[in-house]
Amino acid sequence: MEGRMIFSVTMVFPGLFGDIGGWAGLRTALGENAPLMHPTGGMSFWKAVMLVVFCFSPYADPTFYQRFSAAHSPKVGRRALLTCFCIWIAFDIVICTTGVIVKALYPDAQPEVAYVRLVLSHMPVGIRGLFIVGLVGAIISTLDSYYLVGGTTLANDIYARARGIASLPQKTIVAYTRLAVVLLGIIGLSVAFRFKLAYDAFLFVGSIWMSAAFVPIVGGLVGRGRKTETGGILSMVVGGGLFGLLKLFPEITAVEPLLLALPASFLAWLIGNRIGEDRNGEALKA
């Protein structure tokens, strides 16, 4: 599904870019919005730094590891990852430039609506169907992956472990996973309508996740030395808690919350790993 959407957008891009007159024509068409052509897009220094740091968020994405760890060998996994990186970079260039073109042609329109409207208006009839199916399919596949991961985390990794995973039948864990998926869906919809733009919602939720999960996930997978459950829990609580605090009280500092929450999470990870049983040592012995 995602492949169809990517194919449709990239196929339309050369015509859009040519019609607006290339980079020079785009700069002229932007008018007072010309700062969008600047690398920082007119945003503040800390906002720009935060977005650069946010680019590392895939390394805290469970589905990222889930998909690439399914490769037949490390060599195949590395080759697939490098191939995906090339595709992602090229597609990001296309989609970001198309977004700037949308801003130039429809400066007052809602970005998400204007983007789809522009792309569809330059597509042949048959390709429009592929794009719509691909767009819907990409949304559904992303949602079900995250809901399943979230539901499994709540039911299996938190509830079942707290109760004693050996004492719970698999059918019960599956039932609680389904219940957790429904609960997360309700929470997600409730939060989504508090944002005017999908970009803001994505950035907010992604920043919370990265503040709380980036250090324990990456540190737990590739870090060396002593690792304990206390380190992971403390890192998540401190990182996520500090991000929430700074979001609730933005007057505390001009620095983006994520840029302060990540170092705090890392410091908590180092301190917490000095407390409790060394899980890394157990893994090495096994």
pLDDT tens figures, 16-67: 888 888 888 888 888 777 666 666 667 788 888 888 888 888 888 777 777 7
Nearest to 133 by CA among 1, 26, 13, 247: 1
Integer Cα distance of 182 and 198 in angstroms: 21
pLDDT of 179-213, one tens digit each? 888 888 888 878 777 777 777 787 888 888 889 88
Report whether 59 contacts 81 (CB < 8 A): no
Task: Look up the domain containing 69 and give its range.
Answer: 1-123
pLDDT of residue 5: 63
Q: Looking at 76, 93, 123, which one is the last position of a domain?
A: 123
Residues 190 and 231 reside in one and the same domain: no
Instruction: Report the largest interatomic distance among the alpha carbons of the chain, rounded to a whole angstrom.
Output: 68
261 pLDDT above the threshold of 90: yes
Phi, psi of 253, rounded to the nearest 5 degrees = -155, 155
Q: Looking at 72, 88, 123, which one is the last position of a domain?
A: 123
162 pLDDT above the threshold of 80: no
Place of tokens 């080759």: 79
pLDDT of residue 143: 78
Cite the DSSP H helix spans in 106-228.
111-121, 125-152, 160-163, 170-192, 198-222
Residues 182 and 265 reside in one and the same domain: no
pLDDT of residue 165: 65
Residue 82 lies in a domain: yes
153 pLDDT above the threshold of 70: yes
Report whether 216 contacts 235 (CB < 8 A): yes
Q: How many CA atoms does the CB half-sphere of 184 hold within 13 Å?
A: 20
282 pLDDT above the threshold of 70: no
Residues 113 and 147 reside in one and the same domain: no
Mean pLDDT of the chain: 80
Report whether 230 contacts 260 (CB < 8 A): no
Nearest to 232 by CA among 258, 214, 205: 214
Residues 103 and 44 reside in one and the same domain: yes
281 pLDDT above the threshold of 70: no
Q: How many domains does the chain have?
A: 3
Amino acid at site 55: C
Q: Looking at 74, 90, 123, which one is the last position of a domain?
A: 123
Structure tokens at 259: 């840029």
| Predicted TM-score (pTM) of this structure | 0.70
